[in-house]
Amino acid sequence: MKTIKVLGTGCATCQRLLNDVNTLVVKNNWQARVEYVTDIATIMSYNIMATPALVVDEKVIMIGHPGVAKVEAALFKALAE
C-alpha cells in the first residue's frame, strides 16, 4: 500500500488539496493511505519552501495545488511506480 502525504499548515489551499486527494483515492479505488502533515519541523525535513506539497512514498511530487486534473495525473504516475 502506498502512502500519500499532504504537507500543509492548515490554510484553505492545503485543505482543498487534502480533500481533493481523498476524493481521488476513493474515485480511482487506489490502495493508498492519506496522511495530513501539519508539523512544521516535519514539513521542513522535506526541503520544500512552500505548502501545500504532495508526497508519495516519501518523494515530493508536487508543490502547490495546480488543479484537480493535474493532481490526479501526478498521482496516477506516482502510484504506478
pLDDT digits (tens, 9 = 90+) for 47-61: 999 999 999 999 999
Which is nearest to 25 in space by CA: 75, 81, 61?
A: 75
Query: How confident is the model at residue 68, as a pLDDT?
Result: 98
Which is nearest to 3 in space by CA: 76, 57, 62?
A: 57
Q: Are 51 and 14 in contact (CB under 8 A)?
A: yes
Q: How many domains does the chain have?
A: 1
Radius of gyration of the chain (CA): 11
Domain that holds residue 40: 2-80
User: Residues 2-51: pLDDT tens digits?
Assistant: 999 999 999 999 999 999 999 999 999 999 999 999 999 999 999 999 99
Give residue 81's pLDDT band: very low, low, confident or very high (50, 70, 90): confident
Q: For the beta carbon of residue 37, count every other beta carbon within 10 angstroms.
A: 19
What's the DSSP call for residue 1? -
Query: How confident is the model at residue 57, as a pLDDT?
Result: 97
Q: For the beta carbon of residue 68, count every other beta carbon within 10 angstroms.
A: 15
Threshold 0.85, pTM exceeds: yes
- Three cell numbers written together for 57: 512514498
Specify the CATH number for the domain of residue 31. 3.40.30.10
